[in-house]
Chain A
Amino acid sequence: MPDVLKPRDARDVENAVVWALAEGKRLDVVGQGSKRLLGRPSQTDLTLDLSALSGVTLYEPEELVLSARAGTPIAEIEKLVADKGQELAFEPLDYGPMLGLPSGRGTIGGVLAANLAGPRRIKAGAARDHFLGFSAVSGRGETFKSGGRVVKNVTGYDLCKLLAGSFGTLAVMTDVTIKTLPRAESEVSVMVLGLDDRQACVAMAEAMGSSCEVSGAAHLPAHLVMHFEGLKAQGQAATVLRLEGVGPSIAHRKSVLAAMMKRHGQVETLDETASRRLWRDIRDAAPFGHGLEADRALWRLSVPPARGFELGEMVSTGAQMFYDWAGGLIWIGMPQAEDAGALQLRDAVAILGGHATLIRAPAAMRAAVDVFEPQDNGVAALTKRVKESFDPRGILNPGRMWAGV
């Protein structure tokens, strides 16, 4: 019995889902499979491989809009827009290396389904904020669309938001439209050395609350700092603030920000090349990629930024962590434990607010521990009803996010 269906076009996708419904088959929906290790292991009968649905169908740089088939490689899209001086402003991270896979893989559909974002999330938003429209096949086997190709649109419910981050559990996207934006002409980073986690969160909050338009704010504690590109010889913690824009503007903001940060600690600056390299590593959580610390369970937490440092005080010694999003995003590698550290982290999140996602752990662990943040009863019930409104028989990535969803 073959176990992979590879549709050639959107009509094939609809036929495949209709067939699966009739036969009672559950589908594992994948693009290139680059994020397949993320989430709960689903119980499925067949793989629905969308990688043949590939190609950019519309790109109008002056209208800031791009449409593509869902299986188009993200690398192809990033190159195309870069050639026109544009980018995907949400700076999608690359899960490859930290999941033990090659870098540079994945499709635009996967980027949206996982609602990826990078360091610029604090200024430019996540994939959800740049997702303008789609066509998809629901778990009912019906092709439907939402949104459009214009950036300003409130016609009907904003289903793009719902599909972003739904990990293929609601519908199979076949065609998507996203917003593109001009790429900054240049960038530099201002770096404050030697701060502890608490001091760093205070310094980052001050920088974010200034009019310097900081587009990245990360704190790399001393125990991890040497794993970041360009900081191998750095013996002390580095708090890094990124500035992007046109030359004269960056020069001005750099001097204002450096003067402001002086009272926190020793200030250094990174030029464009060094800054780009470092932020790529921050985006992809480099200390946890490339086989480094691969035996640790890796978590990604989103918390109120000013309280990020408190997490460090709550978890057991031996945890390895660094902060992005001005303290609001925490990558943390937990020492080996029966529950991958879930209890500790979820207790901490209950106090701080936010959510914790288990990014990397063996399949058995991901089956035993909640990968996505457990929800309150009311929200959990609503989530289930939302799932059923799109996929009543539970044939699309069942259980990938939560059991029964």
Chain B
Amino acid sequence: MSVRMPPADKAVLSRREEIVRALRAIVPGEGVISGDIEMRPYESDGLTAYRQLPMVVVLPSTTQQVSEVLRYCHQNRIKVVPRGAGTSLSGGALPLEDGVLLGMGKFSRIREIDYANRVVVAEPGVTNLGVSKAVEDDGFYYAPDPSSQIACTIGGNIAENSGGVHCLKYGMTTNNVLGCELVLMTGEILRIGGKHLDAGGYDLLGIITGSEGLLGVVTEITVRILKKPETARALLVGFPTSEDAGECVGRIIGAGIIPGGMEMMDKPAIHAVEEFVHAGYPLDVEALLIVELDGGKAEVDHLIERVEAIARACRASTLRISNNEEERLLFWAGRKAAFPAVGRISPDYYCMDGTIPRAQLPLVLARMREMSKKYDLQVANVFHAGDGNLHPLILYDANNPGELERAEAFGSDVLRLCVEVGGVLTGEHGVGVEKRDLMPAMFSEIDLNQQQRLKCAFDSEGLLNPGKVFPQLHRCAELGRMHVRAGKVAFPDIPRF
């Protein structure tokens, strides 16, 4: 492991047996797991390069139990790492040696479906797809659709503010959540929001969403559901250069069209998926674009024609339009299988997640090709083209000494490049442990300290998921200190009236 985690608290570790007993008293039966072999499934999340057995695993099944576990841990200064399905790609659920791993998998019930208000009230362990499945027979769905949607939980989606291929048009998790029940590290239970729109005060829900499990543990969530669009059709367009593809994306949006999905792949990615899925992707193009339009049939047919004209004007070398659902799904089959397809041609791959201003794409791809030579590692790119979210997949073999480290260094260079061109470190996978030490590339110490002060408002002892997101941990008392420059500040030289 190349990332330093907070030092283990020896005093806590020495009390392990007593702690396990106390937790068993709160969560009886099989809800507490303490054997090394039984805890093995929890040692890592989707970022499998990092592994650590927790001190103990607790699987509560009621809000009351969550509250009591947290209160006990708060009183005894024990760290807690919350976990949903463990699909995080940034190590957000990586356990701590001296920490309780709080698994929320037993919160797997949908509590209410309310069509009149178009909301679903779910427990955090319900899968993302599970929400859509629960309402699909009535023609509704939940819009954010991360590619892990079959496994990832709605609670994890809150923690990570998950996106998906449709978020340009339909927004990310934060735009689709209305309320939650939240347990603070002290055990205090709060209700925030509900079935109505907007907070009546500070937008605490907006802060909790995307907080990577550092502020509280969510035990119930209210999300908005939407009626499924009448129809959807897709175009599959190949371009001789990535510049042409990028121009096409810009001109579609410039023409006032916001597609339901707009995905780009570069040549290495196209070849990897075509060998795997046989979706009929053209192999002689440098960039492939999938543009999906959804809505009423009249609208979709109209917009398909306009997008086709734009694509041809941008020198498209191949262009196909889906005429039925089967064809549309085939266009997507390749893109959706991109990660496993790359996994097939390389023993390991490292998935990055920067966002860039879209116009910078050709520059970023060119610089990435240079880096690929420098690190002697191949890279394949898939790109949520509409919103500039880039997923370079760096191919490596962990069995070759030094390759993982090279892949990580390559990845860090890519993310620094994203920031350099006006973008950000992570578009949807989160900072976690993976990008933690890169945070100073984007934020000053003042920026990061202000974020940590906000954390102190929720968790004054820094016990919830420490070691994630922030490269340096400070005690809240230290962060709260003020250095008022009394006497040293001249009467400010600012126009006064």
Contact = CB atoms under 8 A, between A and B. Distances in A.
B206 interface: yes
Contacts of A2: 496-497
A85 interface: yes
B457 A388 contact: yes
A209 B458 contact: no
Contact of A8 (B168, B205, B458, B494): B494
A392 B482 contact: yes
Contact of B256 (A164, A170, A182, A392): A182
A354 B302 contact: no
Nearest to B422: A149
Given A157-B211, A252-B299, 16 more contacts: A7-B495, A8-B495, A150-B423, A152-B167, A152-B387, A152-B389, A153-B427, A157-B451, A158-B207, A161-B207, A382-B190, A382-B204, A385-B456, A386-B457, A392-B482, A393-B482
Contacts of A230: none
B384 A152 contact: yes
A252 B301 CA distance: 12
Nearest to A140: B482
A49 B357 CA distance: 33
Interface stretch (B22-30, B275-283, B307-315, B442-450): B442-450
B219 interface: no
A152 B204 contact: no
14 contacts: A12-B492, A12-B494, A15-B494, A22-B486, A146-B451, A149-B357, A150-B356, A155-B435, A156-B448, A158-B207, A306-B116, A354-B194, A375-B201, A378-B184
B203 interface: yes
Top 4 A-B residue pairs of the complex, sorted by shortest distance between their CB atoms: A161-B206, A355-B200, A249-B299, A182-B256
Q: Which of A12, A115, A152, A376: most chain B CB closer than 10 A?
A: A152
A390 interface: yes
A248 B167 CA distance: 25
Contact of A162 (B114, B206, B296): B206
Contact of A125 (B114, B139, B175, B358): B175
Given A158-B161, A249-B295, A209 B118 contact: yes
A158 B209 contact: yes
A173 interface: no
Contact of B174 (A4, A15, A158, A305): A158
Interface in B383-433: 384, 387-389, 422-431
Contacts of A140: 482
Contacts of B299: 245-246, 248-249, 252
A95 to B, nearest CB: 16
A261 B412 CA distance: 56
B484 interface: yes
A281 interface: no
A112 to B, nearest CB: 11
A150 B427 contact: yes
Contacts of A248: 298-299, 301-302
Interface string B436-466: 0001001110111011011111100000000
A220 to B, nearest CB: 20
Contacts of A115: 198, 203
Interface of A: 2-8, 12, 15-16, 18-19, 21-22, 49, 52, 60-65, 85-86, 115, 117, 121-122, 125-126, 128-129, 138, 140-146, 148-162, 164-166, 170, 181-183, 185, 205, 208-213, 245-246, 248-249, 251-253, 256, 302-307, 325, 328-329, 353-357, 372-373, 375-376, 378-379, 382-383, 385-386, 388-390, 392-393, 401-402
A210 B194 CA distance: 22
B384 A142 contact: no
Interface of B: 114-118, 139-140, 160-161, 163, 167-168, 171-172, 174-175, 184, 188-192, 194-207, 209-211, 227-230, 250-251, 253-258, 295-299, 301-303, 355-359, 384, 387-389, 422-431, 435, 439, 442-444, 446-448, 450-451, 453-458, 469, 480, 482, 484-489, 491-497
Contacts of A126: 197-198
B484 to A, nearest CB: 5
A62 B428 contact: no
A65 B114 CA distance: 35
A22 B257 contact: no
Contacts of B496: 2, 4-6
A170 B451 CA distance: 13
Nearest to A130: B175
Given A252-B299, A392-B482, A22 B489 contact: yes
B485 A18 contact: yes
Contacts of B356: 150
A143 B206 CA distance: 22
A28 to B, nearest CB: 13
Contacts of B254: 61-62
Contact of A5 (B184, B206, B486, B492): B492
A390 B298 contact: no
Contacts of B189: 378
Nearest to B298: A252
Contacts of A249: 295-296, 298-299, 302
Given A22-B484, A150-B387, A353 B194 contact: yes
A4 B496 CA distance: 5
Contacts of A208: 118
A155 B301 CA distance: 38
B200 A357 contact: yes
A162 B190 CA distance: 17
Contacts of A157: 207, 210-211, 451, 454-455
Contacts of A148: 355, 422-424, 442
Nearest to A153: B424
A224 to B, nearest CB: 22
A97 to B, nearest CB: 22
A328 B196 contact: yes
B453 A390 contact: yes
A183 B253 CA distance: 11
Contact of A128 (B206, B302, B456): B206
Contacts of B298: 248-249, 251-252
B469 A152 contact: no
